[in-house]
Amino acid sequence: MEWPYRDEELVRHDYNLLVCNEGNFQYGNASISLFNTQNGNVEQEVFNKANGMRLGDVCQSATYAYGKLWLVVNNSHVIFCVDTKTFQELGRIEDLVSPRYIHFLSEEKAYVTNLWSEYIDIVNPKTFQKIGAIKVPGQVASSGSTEQMVQIGTKVYVNCWSYQNTVISIDTNTDEVSESVEVGIQPTSLCKDKDNNLWTVTDGGYEGSWYGHTAPSLVKVGIEPLRVVWAKPLSGEEGWGASEIQTNRTGDTVFFIHDAIKRMSIYDTVPENIIPFDNTIYYGLTIDPKTSDIYVADAIDYVQPGIVKRYKSNGEFVSSFRVGIIPGAFCWVYE
Amino acid sequence: MNRLLLIFWLLANSCFASDLPEIICWGNRVGRMVEDIDSSAIETNTASVADLLKQNTAVFVKSYSRSSLSTISLRGMGATHTVAEWNGLNITDPMTGMVDFSTIPTVGISSCSVAKGASAVNSTGALGGVVAMFSNPADKLQASATLGSYSLQTYSLKVPIKTKNSRHSLSFAYSKAENDFHFINIDKKILTDGKRIHPVEVNRHGAYNSIDGLYSGEIGTKILIRPSLWWSKFERNLPCLTVDYAKSDFINKQNDLNLRSSVRFEKNSFKWIIGATYSDIHYIYAREVAEEDMHTMQESDAYATTYQSGVDYFKVFDNHRLDVSANLLMARAQSFNRVNHDGYSAWQFSGTQSTKLAKFWNKCSSSVLLKQQWGGYYRLVPAAFFEARTKKSTIKSSVSYNYKYPSLNDLYFLPGGNPDLKAEHGWSTDLSWSRKISFLQLSTTAHYGKFEDWIQWLPTPRGFFTPRNIKSVRTTGIEMSASANGNIKKVKYKCNCSLSLTSSVNTKAYSEYDCSVGKQLPYVPVFSGVLNPELSWKDITLHYSWQSFSKRHTMSSNDETVLGELPTYFMSNISLSKKWDLGKFNLSISGAVKNLLDEKYVEVLSRPMPGRNYEFTAKVEIK
């Protein structure tokens, strides 16, 4: 048998949208797909081809900052820094507990959230080293969870998801948790609107959970002080919970997955279906920050390349394209 | 129901037959295709039943690494469609519906056979087939020690005890290894001297140790009583993935404790078995989250207990043989997460009653079977068998419609268990022809199966998985085997070869974008083959074992990408042994080279496998 030693391909990629394909947990088959919104070109497995090695196990998220891309590979305990055009590796931050997202405060300081840890790691992206950690009060490692980060001024807001129910704020001057508010069981995602309010959706946990179980909900959170402004329980056809809340280009409308793809003005209280439930589990969602086009990821049977469907902001179907296994997160790269 | 039974009865009664003794011996195997593993292969194997099957049959053993989870795919079906039986007791884990064959040592096993498709219809849920193992009392006192690469140590002892009307034996086995083999990690690169290269890494965290104690006995003459008891403890670390970049301390460990017991009563044509199994799978995952700050993140226990009883009775009359059997199985599962205090507790009752009527002619026979199956659902399982024999040739054919109930985890696991799951079900049929030509025994089997409501665990947006009945699968294939033995002057030779071509494809689209229809199921090789030639001269034996598996797809859509397939591999093992007759005892010493050609291969993505390695075994047998 010829053992597949892998060469590195030097190709400059032309794209706007990066898709993180999680791959199957424990199989190490995560990958990156690229999509050009102008000409519709799609490229697959670009990290693997560019570096002659695997991306790893469960690519959770990607962040574009200071001209570089940062790929967070959850169950490989690593974050890769790659060139935005060639995807060749520039460095890696290793030995992270279970990294989920990275948020940049400067070129030399970033926060990394974790699952199964009561700490948010502080890293130096220039040296690729951990330089500190923020203890999240009330959390223990076995049920610790910090997820997405949104910065408003000098505060970074974080939703705490797995077996948690809070949104916390971190003072970036002191690197300490300054406030916390309960928003409902398991807030899955976080975004801010044009009025600097935060929005989250909760999945409500699961029936039989020791942590409790409620209906999923949509929650608006004010930041000064950190408080729940408004919350609405969501009743769905399939009851799969709610996830992936996003705002549009102008920040006046929120979109999220709740069986269907739902949309609501930030001044409204009743979400509407903009893309109907299609007897499949939508797994990822993003809104083009330039055009407000909607991109929805469908993992199909979770063991084949998923598909991303593109819609106009009014829900009109535009096109679809294949990506990798379990497309779960997106990253827009407009330079 | 009674009407159906009557129809089968009348169908079977419309035939005529011949000699009775043959009916008694042969009757229960009419039309069934059962592959018996060579007893000498069992005797010389010092590892697990997973290794035994891998080296001696063309079934695909999916191994997650050395001494790690090893499951078996029969005729393109899944791991949960293979049932394991020991001394007639179903030892499949009722929680997962699977058996980890790497945890079953061969030391206490005296016979092992594989029945596939319709031939396994007697075993509830065996849509793919059944691996049946038996432990009979050992005849001779025997001790062996094996030392090998990666700090492998295996010791075994068999002690026979004989009285006037009974035979007993006690077997013990202890095995441990560090499994710290080196491999070139093609899934990673590191920067060395300005070049990015694939690093040479050590398989981290692959150590195991296991201990087994087994008692089996035969008591009585008029009524034969066969008690057996098997205690087993298997402690292992779960090895790191090839794409793991963690360096901090961690614990990722699984301990399996099993206790299996059965008593069989046999008198003439009547058999009764009662038995029970108990298993505790303890899992712990702890990691250093900050310097010298180790936290337990997962710790769970999964307890499963089964109580089983079965009766078999046959009667021979007018060239017919009637087999009646009934089985009851009561399973209790308790899954408990010590960290989150989550878990479930559930009971499952199932029962079967089957009636099989065989009819014998001079050169052929046929039988029909009707099985009633309870356990959450009521199902009727029909099967029919045909066999024709001449002096040198045999033709066999069988057809059945079988069901497999969801496992207890499928139904109740927290989170994600789905109590609304339906049973998986489908047809399987096969036709085989075998012929003896001089010293050569040849056999060819064609098989076909169609199965609905396959269960697959899918992720949900809530972050956990849930099982759903989503697939339909069609399997077709050809299995060929050849065996030969004889002498060339003073050299004895023996050779067996098995080849298998299997198509196992999904036939149902999950959605309009589903590209898996008509594609081979992930991790099922189209081709698999084994070749085992052996030469013996005086007391010296040279054995070679060759196995090959074609590429396996990792995606249901069969995409031929870097991540989409695992390459074909060939595995060669060779051993040389010498036996000495030292009067009151025999001594044998053997040396084996495993993975002789240092093949680099994986059976599952991101799970490294060892290169060339060595084993030395010494065995003493008191005459």
Which of B513, B546, B551, B604 should we substitute to test contact with A (largest number of A Cβ atoms within 10 Å)?
A: B513
A214-218, B166-170, B372-376: which has the minimum mean pLDDT? Answer: B372-376
Residues of B in contact with A141 (CB under 8 A): 287, 289, 295-297
- The answer to whether residues B426 and B127 touch, using CB atoms and an 8 Å cutoff, is yes
The string of DSSP codes covering B456-511 is EEEE-TTSSEEEEEEEEEEEEEEEEEEEEEEEETTEEEEEEEEEEEEEEEE-S-SS
Residue B527 DSSP class: E
pLDDT value, residue B516: 93
Round the average pLDDT of chain B to a whole number and report it: 90
How does pLDDT run across A164-215, given as a tens digit for each residue?
A: 999 999 999 999 999 999 999 999 999 999 999 999 999 998 888 888 889 9
Q: B439: pLDDT confidence band, cut at 50, 70 and 90?
A: confident
CB atoms within 10 A of CB A106: 12
pLDDT value, residue B5: 40
Q: Check whether B163 has a pLDDT greater than 80.
A: yes
Q: How many CA atoms lie within 13 A of B131 on its CB side?
A: 29
Q: Check whether B7 has a pLDDT greater than 70.
A: no
Q: Check whether B17 has a pLDDT greater than 70.
A: no
A176 touching B (Cβ < 8 Å): no
Strands A260-265 and A272-275: antiparallel
Q: How far is B470 from chain A (nearest CA, A)?
A: 9
Q: A125: pLDDT confidence band, cut at 50, 70 and 90?
A: very high
Distance CA B593, CA A255 (A): 61
- The answer to whether residues B399 and B36 touch, using CB atoms and an 8 Å cutoff, is no
pLDDT value, residue B67: 78
Whether A142 sits inside 8 A of B297 (CB atoms) is yes
pLDDT value, residue B357: 94
Q: A236: pLDDT confidence band, cut at 50, 70 and 90?
A: low
- Interface size between A and B, measured as CB pairs under 8 A: 205
pLDDT value, residue B80: 94
pLDDT value, residue B6: 40
Instruction: Please state the rounded mean pLDDT for residues A35-60.
Output: 96
Whether B188 sits inside 8 A of A162 (CB atoms) is no
Residue B379 DSSP class: E
Whether A48 sits inside 8 A of B470 (CB atoms) is no
Query: SS3 string of chain A?
Result: CCCCCCCCCCCCCCCCEEEEECCCCCCCCCEEEEECCCCCCEECCHHHHHHCCCCCCCEEEEEEECCEEEEEEHHHCEEEEEECCCCCEEEEECCCCCEEEEEEEECCEEEEEEECCCEEEEEECCCCEEEEEEECCCCCHHHCECCCEEEECCEEEEEECCCCCEEEEEECCCCEEEEEEECCCCEEEEEECCCCCEEEEECCECCCCCCCECCCEEEEEEECCEEEEEEEECCCCCCCCCEEEEECCCCCEEEEEECEEEEEECCCCCCEEEECCCCCCEEEEEECCCCCCEEEEECCCCCCEEEEEEECCCCCEEEEEEEEECEEEEEECCC
Q: Check whether B428 has a pLDDT greater than 50.
A: yes
Distance CA B445, CA B440 (A): 17
Distance of CA A298 to the CA centre of its chain: 15
A319 touching B (Cβ < 8 Å): no
A234-238, B85-89, B350-354, B457-461: which has the minimum mean pLDDT? Answer: A234-238
Distance CA B326, CA B270 (A): 12
Q: Is the full-model pTM beyond 0.95?
A: no
Query: What element of type H or E holds B232?
Result: strand B224-237
Peptide bond into A305 cis (omega under 30): no
Residue B589: strand pairing partners: B578, B618
pLDDT value, residue B16: 33
Whether A3 sits inside 8 A of B567 (CB atoms) is yes
Instruction: Please state the rounded mean pLDDT for residues B268-286.
Output: 95
Which residues are CB-neighbours of B240 under 8 A, at least 6 positions away?
B203, B204, B205, B246
Whether B513 sits inside 8 A of A307 (CB atoms) is yes
Instruction: Please state the rounded mean pLDDT for residues A239-260.
Output: 90
Which of B519, B562, B602 should we substitute to test contact with A (largest number of A Cβ atoms within 10 Å)?
A: B562
How does pLDDT run across A159-168, given as a tens digit for each residue?
A: 999 999 999 9
How does pLDDT run across B255-265, given as a tens digit for each residue?
A: 999 999 999 99
How does pLDDT run across B505-541, given as a tens digit for each residue?
A: 999 998 889 999 999 999 999 999 999 999 999 999 9
Distance CA B49, CA B54 (A): 8
- The answer to whether residues A144 and A114 touch, using CB atoms and an 8 Å cutoff, is yes
Which residue is closest to B189 within chain A, CA to CA? A53
Whether B186 sits inside 8 A of A4 (CB atoms) is yes
Q: Check whether A23 has a pLDDT greater than 90.
A: yes
Q: How far is A206 from chain B (nearest CA, A)?
A: 7
pLDDT value, residue B157: 95
pLDDT value, residue B8: 37
pLDDT value, residue B24: 54
Q: B127: pLDDT confidence band, cut at 50, 70 and 90?
A: very high
Which residue is closest to B238 within chain A, CA to CA? A26
Nearest to A203 among B241, B462, B470 (CB): B462
A139 touching B (Cβ < 8 Å): no
Distance CA B255, CA B299 (A): 11
Nearest to A28 among B196, B243, B458 (CB): B243
A257 touching B (Cβ < 8 Å): yes
A239-243, A294-298, B223-227: which has the minimum mean pLDDT? Answer: A239-243
pLDDT value, residue A237: 54
pLDDT value, residue A6: 72
Nearest to A241 among B247, B461, B555 (CB): B461
CB atoms within 10 A of CB A174: 10
Q: Check whether A152 has a pLDDT greater than 70.
A: yes
A148 touching B (Cβ < 8 Å): no
Whether A54 sits inside 8 A of B242 (CB atoms) is yes
Nearest to B186 among A3, A119, A305 (CB): A3
Question: What percentage of chain B carries pLDDT values higher than 90?
Answer: 74
pLDDT value, residue B22: 54
How does pLDDT run across B19-41, given as a tens digit for each residue?
A: 445 555 555 677 788 999 988 88
Instruction: Please state the rounded mean pLDDT for residues B349-372.
Output: 93
Which of A1, A135, A209 should we substitute to test contact with B (largest number of B Cβ atoms within 10 Å)?
A: A1
Which of A33, A44, A53 should we substitute to test contact with B (largest number of B Cβ atoms within 10 Å)?
A: A53
Whether B563 sits inside 8 A of A48 (CB atoms) is yes
Question: What percentage of chain A carries pLDDT values higher than 90?
Answer: 86
Distance of CA B512 to the CA centre of its chain: 36
A27 touching B (Cβ < 8 Å): yes
Quote the tokens at residue B154.
Answer: 């295996």
Residues of B in contact with A44 (CB under 8 A): 561
A109 touching B (Cβ < 8 Å): no
Distance CA B444, CA B578 (A): 35
Whether A48 sits inside 8 A of B342 (CB atoms) is no
Q: Check whether B561 has a pLDDT greater than 50.
A: yes
pLDDT value, residue B391: 86
A225 touching B (Cβ < 8 Å): no
